[in-house]
Amino acid sequence: MSEVPSIGIDTRDGRTRILVGVRSEHWGPTVFHSDDLGETWNEPEQGAIRFPEGTDAALERVWQIHPDAESRPGVVWAGCEPISVWKSTDGGEHFELNRGLWDHPHRGEWGAGYGGAAAHSIVVDNTGEKVHVAMSTGGVYRSLDGGSSWEPRNKGISAYFMPDPNPEFGQCVHKIAADSAVDGRLYAQNHHGVYRSDDDAENWESIADGLPADFGFVMLTHPGRAGTAWVIPLKADGERIPRRADSRSTGPTTPARPGSAWTPGCPKRNSIPCFGTPPVLTRQRRPVCTSAPAAAASTPAPTRANTSPRWPRTCRTCCAFAPRPCPVPLCRTSPCPGPPCPRPRRAPEFRARNPCGAAQCAPAAGRRAVLPDCARRHGGDGGGCWTR
């Protein structure tokens, strides 16, 4: 089994290179790159990212891949787990560990969130000297010398779960992003809290007012429009599902500007709620926001839109597979936005194996069931549609 926790698209130097952070249960984590839009993939023989001898560490996951500015076409940054920052000067084929952050005296006090101890956000200014990194857990750190030295910059960001809710470092920041048109302006999605800084992270102020919830993992800025950012609110850290918008959330779609409020950017029925206008897919796998720019490829998404025909779409009440877009609420949407399911409830340990949409349930003993509805659809005894 493999996963792709990060992706970066590098269009500098007259070519398009796709870089992906891949983690395989068998082969381990690495960075692949493709110069032909994914037709073929390449990996250095010894791996793109390897901890130097003496660090007593091994790469767990590549959380962020960030191509640098146009003026530095070969430079690519990577944020990884364990908490570390890496820099490549050959287009992402080989990376070197940033010793300034790795040897930082705070490193022994940085912790791990539920997803691991990760440096997941890297923001580099046009000069290449000012670099911001966000980590879980550790907070935001800034370098003014291209990564040689780092200082925490978390004033105003809360860490309510710590004895001191306003520490110098230790915050669980989930994502940061820079305003594309306002120099020095940054946005942060925290573990409960949404913030903005107008002075390169020297100070942070809350901009969460107007959101239905302040927990989430996404912070995305418009690539060309000043003062525009998007988040996808989740209910809470203990209930990580999208919070649906309500009539109390009103205002312009540019919440980043001082004094403005948030507004749902995807008000379509049964869509995942987002604030701003990010391109989010419904469970029917069709885009509901077409006016927004393409999201940055390196931004992790809190939800999954899988176009595979095998993707299970099931009713959360009776667990029957839906053979086509069904008016009944689906089990992967919680809480259900629609009316109660009219079909009988069945034990959660049973699942349908064939997309027959049968209303009946298997016997409690878990034996194969001969269902008339299945037999009519599939012939014979129904193929044992319901099994434990």
Paired tokens of 265: 């950017």
The predicted pLDDT at position 110 comes to 95
One domain for residues 78 and 205: yes
**271 within a domain of the structure (yes/no):** no
One domain for residues 182 and 42: yes
The predicted pLDDT at position 115 comes to 83
Range in 42-46, 201-205, 350-354 with the lowest mean pLDDT = 350-354
What span, in angstroms and rounded, lies between the C-alpha atoms of 69 and 94? 18
Residue 373's H or E segment, with its range, is helix 372-378
CA neighbor of 231 nearest in space, from 269, 194, 260, 271: 194
What is the residue-wise DSSP string for 105-117? TTGGG---BTTBS
One domain for residues 231 and 93: yes
One domain for residues 207 and 343: no
**293 within a domain of the structure (yes/no):** no
The predicted pLDDT at position 275 comes to 59
Q: Count up the domains in the chain and report the number.
A: 2
One domain for residues 238 and 319: no
Q: What is the pTM of this model?
A: 0.68
What is the residue-wise DSSP string for 326-341? -SSPBTTSSS--SPPP
**322 within a domain of the structure (yes/no):** yes
What span, in angstroms and rounded, lies between the C-alpha atoms of 143 and 153? 10
pLDDT tens for 129-176 read 999 999 999 999 999 999 999 999 999 999 988 889 999 999 999 999
Range in 37-41, 208-212, 310-314 with the lowest mean pLDDT = 310-314
Q: Which residues contact 231 (CB under 8 A, 6 or more apart)?
A: 189, 194, 211, 216, 218, 219, 220, 262, 274, 275, 276
**DSSP structural state of residue 201:** T
Q: Is the link from the previous residue into 165 a cis peptide, with omega within 30 of 0? A: no
- Residue finishing a domain among 195, 221, 242: 242
Question: What mean pLDDT, rounded, does the chain reach?
Answer: 74
CA neighbor of 147 nearest in space, from 64, 77, 73: 77
The predicted pLDDT at position 234 comes to 92
- Residue finishing a domain among 222, 242, 262: 242
**38 within a domain of the structure (yes/no):** yes
CA neighbor of 192 nearest in space, from 243, 228, 149: 243
One domain for residues 218 and 320: no
Query: Sorting pLDDT into bands at 50, 70 and 90, what band is 273?
Result: low
CATH of the domain at 41: 2.130.10.10
One domain for residues 196 and 57: yes
**145 within a domain of the structure (yes/no):** yes
- Residue finishing a domain among 227, 242, 257: 242
**142 within a domain of the structure (yes/no):** yes
Domain limits for position 384: 312-388
What span, in angstroms and rounded, lies between the C-alpha atoms of 312 and 320? 10
One domain for residues 60 and 181: yes
One domain for residues 234 and 329: no
One domain for residues 21 and 118: yes
One domain for residues 18 and 150: yes
Q: Tell me what percent of the residues of the chain surpass a pLDDT of 70.
A: 63
Residue, of 117 and 238, whose pLDDT is higher = 117
- Give CA angle at 269 (268, 271), nearest 5°: 70
Q: Specify burial of residue 40 (Cβ count, 10 A radius: 0-12, 13-18, 19+).
A: exposed
CA neighbor of 341 nearest in space, from 362, 361, 315: 315
Per-residue pLDDT for 348 more than 50?
no
Whose tokens are 């000297």? That residue is 129
**DSSP structural state of residue 348:** T
The predicted pLDDT at position 274 comes to 56
One domain for residues 381 and 238: no
Residue, of 113 and 288, whose pLDDT is higher = 113
Per-residue pLDDT for 225 more than 60?
yes
Mean pLDDT of 172-189: 94
CA neighbor of 352 nearest in space, from 338, 377, 335: 377
What span, in angstroms and rounded, lies between the C-alpha atoms of 235 and 243? 5
What span, in angstroms and rounded, lies between the C-alpha atoms of 119 and 134? 6
**106 within a domain of the structure (yes/no):** yes
Of 55-64, 206-215, 362-371, which has the strongest mean pLDDT? Answer: 55-64
Paired tokens of 81: 């787990």
